[in-house]
Amino acid sequence: KKIVHGDLKGENILITLTGRAVVADFGLSRKVSESSITRFSSLSTNGYAKGSTRWLAPECLLNGGNSTYSSDTYAFACVCYETFTGFVPFYEFPQDISVVFQLSAGRRPARPLDKSDLSDSMWEIMQEYWSQEPSIRPTAS
């Protein structure tokens, strides 16, 4: 099914008793057709972006852009960061406003010095998924 989740993050991915990962919390998601993918906004009625700041793609957070497949791709890289490092994106910044400043400067989460279980090849993939330009992020297909 063609769904834009709009709030992918580690706490919205649950593990079943058989070890299968399943996505949860579809409160901000939309079932979309190809023609309607850009019609819904990620902004709430008060003008602030919906979703979780540390996982939102820059175009959604900074420009009030729409949630898209591409913004979910960006968020997926953030989930990978959580999975491989044990840290939320931008863990070194305790306040979300600091994360907004980092994103507006074009920065992405820093690779931990110990590298955890994060291989060089996985880090390169995450960098691609974090591209500033949504149109050049890889697709899930």
Active-site residues: which are they?
A: 7
- Provide the CA 79 distance to its chain's centre, in angstroms: 7
How far, in Å, CA of 137 to CA of 78, rounded? 14
How far, in Å, CA of 75 to CA of 73, rounded? 5
- For strand 13-15 and strand 21-23, is the pairing parallel, antiparallel, or unpaired? antiparallel
User: What is the residue-wise DSSP string for 71-107?
Assistant: HHHHHHHHHHHHHHHSS-TTTT--SHHHHHHHHHTT-
What angle, 0 to 180 degrees and rounded to 10, lies between the N-to-C axes of helices 120-129 and 69-85? 150
